[in-house]
Amino acid sequence: MTERSALVPVVSALAGARVLVIGDLMLDRFVTGAVERISPEAPIPVLKVDDETVMLGGAGNVVRNLAALGAHAAFVVVVGADDAATDVGRLVDALDGIDAFLVTASGRRTSIKTRFLAGTQQMLRADRETVAPLAPDHRHAVVEAATKLMENCAVVVLSDYGKGVLDDGVAEELIAAANAAGATVIVDPKGRDYARYRGAGVVTPNRAELAEAAERPVVDAATADAAARILIDTFGFGAVLATLGADGMTLVPANDAPTVLDVEAREVFDVSGAGDTVVAMFAAALAAGAGYGDAAALANVAAGIVVGKVGTAVAYADDVVHALHHQDLSSAEAKVLGLAPALDRVETWRRRGLKVGFTNGCFDLLHPGHVSLLAQAREACDRLIVGLNSDASVTRLKGTGRPVQTEAARAAVLASLASVDAVVIFADDTPMALLEALRPDVLVKGADYTVDQVVGAAEVQGWGGRVVLAQLESGHSTTEIISRIAE
């Protein structure tokens, strides 16, 4: 198998990958809050709701991961004629590089899984869904659209969550069409009837699914290999990629020795959707020209990243590159984030009950005054995000000749400080848009401002946060330092 660092070019090539995803779509809703009392009506906790979020799940989560990796995805799914379908359309439209074909079935419900969480503890899950094969006209629409889209996709993913979209011969028909088009078929399976997936290129069961399908226990890599061989011999699969939880992953090709991939050494916070991440990365890597072994290695890295996030999260291409360079998520370079990864990080922190702080500035030629400000900011919260003005923004604010250091250099220096947990570069003259997206609990600025002069102070206080004015170290100024250097 290729050395990890040599897989970085494959990640770069994902931008040219084209993958078609078909299967069971669902919406994942998260209702979060705190439990402070027991209901007087029944012996049950009362959840005081603080926030509600919704994201694409099931086949939709595969597509979300493909978009995060920079791949291009075509998407064929079925929704009901309901309000949830409107949410699906909005969420799909927000993804880059996605061509979606939504089949509206008036007799079905759009699947919704609603999870109620108190802090990090899931209290209840409520499912609203239709579990039934498609009506003939909806079946025809799915197969027709998918067959046409296969012409431009190197890999076809069937994401089966057992809701009925791939039932009654739909999976078989799609596999036959994909094979005829020369596309590789990857199936994320459900249930024990793998005959419906006969002829697929790769199936990706987890430990329990593999054991059920092969009708034999799977306790380690060796028994996973034996079980996978049964499926390959019985159904003509090209390979089985089995995810084994704490035992990592095992890739079993039809005509080659198995490859055992140890679990990535990361903190496991939430395994929701990790299987979708594996499928997305494996599919994208194959579509980008990687072999089975390299694609599996990348899928294992991506899975290790996503289980350290919250909910049905995604792995971004930058996350994967950092991991391939053996960089832990706490390392300096991995602290420099785009907005989407930063939102993931903030959500993870909040689910752990941590208070998130924010400060911002140009931080050109970092000096002791900056260090003191950042230390005070970190003391006021559990995790500190620094909003960093981009080069263009600094020039507009400070004039020609500034910044002295590029935004990349300034971000790297900030991220090397123990007091800083994340750095996000913003291009506007003020951090207002960034603040509204991150919604910090604490906003910190220097005491040379008054609260009413701090950008975002009213908004932070409006959502229950507070503003802290940090004491400044006298005698330190970037402008003065530059002047002394010039003299």
User: Which of the residues are catalytic?
Assistant: 276
DSSP lists the bridge partners of residue 18 as: 72
Dihedrals φ, ψ of 31, to 5°?
Answer: -105, 110
Closest CA to 225 of 195, 200, 248: 248
Q: Look at the alpha carbons of 445, 447, 449, 452 in this order and tell me if their dihedral is positive or negative.
A: positive
User: Is the distance from CB of 414 to CB of 459 less than 8 angstroms?
Assistant: no
Q: Side chain identity at 450, as an amino acid letter?
A: T
160-174: buried (b, 16+ CB within 10 Å) or exposed (e) per residue? Answer: bbebbbbbeebbbbb
Query: DSSP for 152-181?
Result: G-SEEEEE--SSSTTTTTHHHHHHHHHHHH
Spatial separation of the C-alpha atoms in residues 88 and 90, rounded to whole Å: 5
- What is the rounded distance in angstroms from the CA atom of residue 118 to the CA atom of residue 49? 9
Contact indicator for 441, 463 with CB cutoff of 8 Å? no
What are the residues facing 22 on neighbouring strands? 76, 158
Ramachandran angles phi, psi of 432, nearest 5°? -55, -50
CB of 239 closer than 8 Å to CB of 253 = yes
Residues whose CB is less than 8 angstroms from the CB of residue 428 and which lie 6 or more positions away in sequence, other chains included? 393, 434
State how far the Cα of 477 lies from the Cα of 487, in Å rounded to an integer.
15
Both tokens of 164, joined, read 């009925």
β-pairing, 249-253 vs 259-261, is antiparallel
With left for phi above 0 and alpha for psi between -120 and 50, is residue 256 left, alpha or beta? beta
The SS3 call for residue 391 is helix
DSSP string, 279-338: HHHHHHHHHTT--HHHHHHHHHHHHHHHTTSSSS----HHHHHHHHTT--TTSTGGGEE-
**Are the CB atoms for 295 and 184 separated by under 8 Å?**
no
